[in-house]
Amino acid sequence: LTSSTPYTALPAVLLLGPSGAGKTALLTLFERGPLTPPSTSEKTTSEPATAAQTHTSLTPASVELAVSSDSSGSSFRDDLDSTGATAKKFLLIDTPGHAKLRGAAISRLADSKYSLNPSTTSRSTVTDGTKLKAIVFVVDAAGLSDGDTSYDTSLPSTASFLYDVLLTLQKRATKAKGSKAPPTVPVLIAANKLDLFTALPAALVKSNLEAELGRIRKTRSKGLLDSGVGADDDLAGGEESDEWLGEYGSDKFSFKQMMEFDIEVDVIGGNVTGDGPGADKWWRWIADKV
């Protein structure tokens, strides 16, 4: 299906997010098609694709995928070869979410071109010219209840990871202002595992993350605002504001504030396994960005 032609400078989409969120499961789903065949299909002797057989990732891996260039109706299930559609190829890059391994992925975001050591990628070619087009930040919607009401939540750790990602993108955008700015990178927060009845709807995932990001921002800037430096002071653009995520001095954080840096953040719910809205909306979002 994928040829071994050494494509250079394919656009890349990066999968980020905490361990266990479903990044590898999603990559496998996009690569192989749906996990369970539709119930209406005739029985076949072939094995169903096992998208959920994942294990904690230790190294980045990438797969080459293609979207139909008229993205509106396309699905990752479509066989573009048979429809004869013109396909746009891109790399989907998986990363390990473990706290001790994610730093490498974040630090590479600081560069306008995302480069990956080819020796660590098993299945496809990532070159120095590879352009990062979008980030899909996968979260487990079943584990993001508000920390005040639940001790069993990954909200603080997930939000802290997301904070680092967004702040890195923000710094990158700020640094580039004026000069030849690298294109900004949009972020999709994929609220995964909506098949689970304990999962929060996407709107709640969004507001919980925004609230937690606001708390983190407050904590990390302690001493900065306390010293009397506020939005009214003419210090925006100074060193301190570089570390502040979103609208400087604002009380509450919202993803909309990232638009100040031309960084679009969308939160869309879905699931890789089980019954639910599936992954089509995520695929269409990606198709729109590459």
Please say which residue, 102 or 206, places its beta carbon nearer to Mg ion. Answer: 102
Q: How many residues are recorded in the chain?
A: 290
* Nearest residue to ligand GTP, by Cβ distance, number only: 97
By the rule CB under 5 A, 24 interacts with Mg ion:
yes
Which of 57, 121, 124, 221: binder of ligand GTP (CB under 6 A)? 57
Please say which residue, 80 or 135, places its beta carbon nearer to Mg ion. Answer: 135
For the bound state, the minimum distance from the C-beta of residue 264 to ligand GTP, rounded and expressed in Å, comes to 23
- Span from 18-26, 29-37, 131-139, 280-288 in contact with Mg ion (CB under 5 A): 18-26
Q: Which string of x and - marks every residue 41-70 that binds Mg ion (by CB under 5 A)? A: ----------------x-------------
Please say which residue, 83 or 117, places its beta carbon nearer to Mg ion. Answer: 117
For the bound state, the minimum distance from the C-beta of residue 51 to ligand GTP, rounded and expressed in Å, comes to 8
By the rule CB under 6 A, 97 interacts with ligand GTP:
yes
Say how many residues touch ligand GTP, by CB under 6 A. Answer: 24
For the bound state, the minimum distance from the C-beta of residue 230 to ligand GTP, rounded and expressed in Å, comes to 39
